[in-house]
Structure 1
Amino acid sequence: MPVSPALAEDLARAVASLYEAAEATLLDRLRAALAEGIDSPAWVNSKLAALGDLQAGVTQVIAALEADAAGAIHQAVAEAYDRGQQAAVAELGALGVGQVAAAVEALPAAAAVDRLAAAVVEETGAAHLRILRQTLDVYREVISTASAAPLLGAQTRRQAAQSALDRFATRGVTGFVDTAGRSWNLVSYTEMATRTAVGRAAIEAHTDRLGAAGVDLVIVSAAPEECDRCKPWEGKILTRDGAGGARTVEMEHATEDGRMVQVRVAGSLPEARAAGLMHPNCRHDVSAYLPGLTRPPAQVPARGTYKQSQQQRYFEQKIREWKRRETVALDDAARTAARARVRAYQGRVRELVAETGLPRKSHREQLTQAR
């Protein structure tokens, strides 16, 4: 069967859920610590005295996260690699070209899995210190802002505390920048990094298996709602590896000995991926190309535009944001207001999918609950 980053994206989500659950736990602990005695005249002093307790609690959450995350990342990458290998075997078996036996032979996977998993662990490891620092910074900010607000007459202490908590719930733990210079929060960055790794593992395993069977070319599928980075590669024939660059090559027909056919190669798979194909949210796949046999991929009817699919993702992000805001609500009024915003954005998602035919992905609207 063809392979794409989507083949293993559920594995990336499982890893991101660990971080999302940790973030939810921190938000809940932060809210509870600040809410206790907030109307008391001694609130500022009691909160400053309790800073050590909060730090110990946050450190405990981070230790649990560190214990779980490294193993979960390695397991996800290993499972993605296995799925990629199985996809290649199934694909060649379905083609019935006599090459499946070679593909079934076990290929060493440990080195590739370790390499990809170690890169993600290193990327996300720096997040743990940032979690502690930013949580404590928000705690101090709330105390400072909330204690000064009544003197300024601008807000009540509760309102000031709620505003600071809302800002933290909205942005999450921040400060993560990818190689393209884009900024991410903790959960999104973790999911992006893991999704990139598991997608790469599945594709590498698939193409390695094809190579073991003597298949040197792959073809890119068509996909709905494609982005500008991927569209130039749709339907193109690529070498599995090697040098890039478009060229015409002469190859023997896949099933007719001695018959030569000309194949227009658009470049290499590494070249296409460097240009943006197979990015973490890509819906394209690659499959074996057999000279003289493989036909160009059929066009897939679009269910909307790429812009509309990104609008849906924005609404999903806002739903999760307002659910986090509900988590840190200090009173029923703030909680009710957050729920109303959740329902409003859910309504916008329903309208969009009804208008375009885009599938609704309810799991992307959910938060992993605190552990």
Structure 2
Amino acid sequence: MADVRRFSDAEINRLVKFYEQVEREILDRLNRALLRGNQTEYLEQMKKNIEAILQQLREGNRTWCTEAIPRVYTEGLKNADAMLKDAGVTLKAGFGAIHQQAAQVLAENAFQRLEDVAQVIGRQVNDIYRELALENVRGTVVGYDTWKQTARRYREQLAERGVTGFKDRTGRMWNMRTYTEMVARTTTMEAHLQGTANRLVEQGHDLVKVSTHLGACELCQPWQGKILSITGKTKGYPTLEEAKAAGLFHPNCRHAYGLYIDLDKEIKD
């Protein structure tokens, strides 16, 4: 049974390195602006510079999603092909229109999740701009530089935590790097597993067996070694979607699944 991470780690690392570079550039622009936070024109230029960086980020996201996700999906197909070959099944399938469409949908879903990063950064930059602009006005009224305290607070936060504020579906907060890695790992795992599942169903096989390993977490432990129905059409087995809903294949999950043949219950063509 293939280890999903073996195919996806290179793609994940490529995206994470790109994001690390983007974060360094954004932090550099922010810190420069915070040192000159009483100059409105400098703050406005900071906003424009970061907007340009975010546009590059979006373009990089699109490139990564359209390249990496289909590649990992294809590895999922190959994984299923190897399982079927080992089971003595003669294959008559390639990377047809159905698989192309599935890979495109997965790539678009990944892009939308990464788009959240650009939106969060954009909101944070706007918050910094508005608060410093307000402090500049307040300082003019009261007669001293209140903006310096605000700028110092932001600099300390950025130095300690980097760019933060990314929330996943469970409400957990992440910084920019860890959130990006989590999204990349989740979406590549999904692409690989979906490619495997789609190929198996395409060839008339609906059952898979979940892998096992030591140290499985509480979410995954109940599902280790379980037989699942991919489509839900094979009665007597829990479905793949039920297992996912219960927490199997969470971010950074090490589990995969392999072909399982029950001659009495397999779907017939």
**The two structures share one fold, judged by TM-score above 0.5:** yes
Residue of structure 2 equivalent to 1:261: none
Are positions 1:124 and 2:114 aligned together?
yes
Q: What is the CA RMSD across the aligned residues, in angstroms?
A: 3.4
Q: Deviations over 1:270-324 (max 9, x none)?
A: 21111111112111121112349xxxxxxxxxxxxxxxxxxxxxxxxxxxxxxxx
How much has 1:26 moved relative to structure 2? 0.7
Residue of structure 1 equivalent to 2:215: 225
How much has 1:9 moved relative to structure 2? 4.4
How much has 1:120 moved relative to structure 2? 2.5
Kindly tell me: are residues 280 and 244 of structure 1, through their superposed partners in 2, closer, same or farther at Cα, counting changes over 3 Å? farther
Kindly tell me: are residues 163 and 74 of structure 1, through their superposed partners in 2, closer, same or farther at Cα, counting changes over 3 Å? same
Kindly tell me: are residues 244 and 282 of structure 1, through their superposed partners in 2, closer, same or farther at Cα, counting changes over 3 Å? farther
Matched length: 256
- Report which of the two structures shows the higher radius of gyration computed on alpha carbons: 1
Kindly tell me: are residues 76 and 89 of structure 1, through their superposed partners in 2, closer, same or farther at Cα, counting changes over 3 Å? same
Residue of structure 1 equivalent to 2:253: 282
Kindly tell me: are residues 117 and 105 of structure 1, through their superposed partners in 2, closer, same or farther at Cα, counting changes over 3 Å? closer
- Percent identity for Structure 1 against Structure 2: 32
Q: Deviations over 1:348-368 (max 9, x none)?
A: xxxxxxxxxxxxxxxxxxxxx
Q: The residue matched to 2:47 in structure 1 has which SS?
A: helix
Q: Deviations over 1:174-228 (max 9, x none)?
A: 4443332333344433333333222111111112222233332211111232110
Residue of structure 1 equivalent to 2:61: 69
Q: Which runs of 5+ in 2 are unaligned?
A: 143-147, 264-269
How much has 1:104 moved relative to structure 2? 4.8
Residue of structure 2 equivalent to 1:135: 125
Are positions 1:53 and 2:41 aligned together?
no
Q: The residue matched to 2:11 in structure 1 has which SS?
A: helix
Q: The residue matched to 2:91 in structure 1 has which SS?
A: helix
Residue of structure 1 equivalent to 2:20: 20
Contact 1:88 1:103 in 2 (8 A): no
Contact 1:5 1:282 in 2 (8 A): no
2: CA distance, partners of 1:111 / 1:210: 17
2: CA distance, partners of 1:103 / 1:90: 13
Letter in 2 for 1:112: A
1: CA distance, partners of 2:75 / 2:153: 46
Q: The residue matched to 1:114 in structure 2 has which SS?
A: helix
Are positions 1:268 and 2:244 aligned together?
no
Residue of structure 2 equivalent to 1:234: 224
Are positions 1:90 and 2:82 aligned together?
yes
How much has 1:61 moved relative to structure 2? 0.7
Kindly tell me: are residues 28 and 44 of structure 1, through their superposed partners in 2, closer, same or farther at Cα, counting changes over 3 Å? closer
Letter in 1 for 2:29: R
How much has 1:139 moved relative to structure 2? 5.8
Kindly tell me: are residues 243 and 185 of structure 1, through their superposed partners in 2, closer, same or farther at Cα, counting changes over 3 Å? farther
1: CA distance, partners of 2:234 / 2:27: 48
2: CA distance, partners of 1:244 / 1:90: 23
Which residues in structure 2 correspond to 1:180-191 (within 5 Å)? 180-191=170-181
1: CA distance, partners of 2:119 / 2:247: 31
Residue of structure 1 equivalent to 2:91: 102
2: CA distance, partners of 1:9 / 1:272: 24
Kindly tell me: are residues 211 and 243 of structure 1, through their superposed partners in 2, closer, same or farther at Cα, counting changes over 3 Å? closer
Kindly tell me: are residues 103 and 281 of structure 1, through their superposed partners in 2, closer, same or farther at Cα, counting changes over 3 Å? farther
Kindly tell me: are residues 177 and 132 of structure 1, through their superposed partners in 2, closer, same or farther at Cα, counting changes over 3 Å? closer
2: CA distance, partners of 1:204 / 1:137: 39
Contact 2:3 2:254 in 1 (8 A): no
Q: Which runs of 5+ in 1 are unaligned?
A: 36-42, 152-156, 248-264, 293-371
Which residues in structure 2 correspond to 1:1-371 (within 5 Å)? 1-2=1-2, 4=4, 7-35=7-35, 45=38, 47-93=39-85, 95=86, 97-99=87-89, 101-102=90-91, 104-107=93-96, 108-138=98-128, 144=135, 161=151, 163-242=153-232, 247=236, 265=237, 267-291=238-262
Kindly tell me: are residues 274 and 13 of structure 1, through their superposed partners in 2, closer, same or farther at Cα, counting changes over 3 Å? farther
Of stretches 174-183 and 77-86 in structure 1, the one that deviates more from structure 2 is 174-183
Contact 1:207 1:240 in 2 (8 A): yes
Kindly tell me: are residues 213 and 48 of structure 1, through their superposed partners in 2, closer, same or farther at Cα, counting changes over 3 Å? same
Q: The residue matched to 1:277 in structure 2 has which SS?
A: coil
Could you state the TM-score of these two structures normalised by the residue count of structure 1?
0.59
1: CA distance, partners of 2:214 / 2:9: 18
Q: The residue matched to 1:180 in structure 2 has which SS?
A: coil
Kindly tell me: are residues 85 and 44 of structure 1, through their superposed partners in 2, closer, same or farther at Cα, counting changes over 3 Å? closer
Kindly tell me: are residues 268 and 142 of structure 1, through their superposed partners in 2, closer, same or farther at Cα, counting changes over 3 Å? same
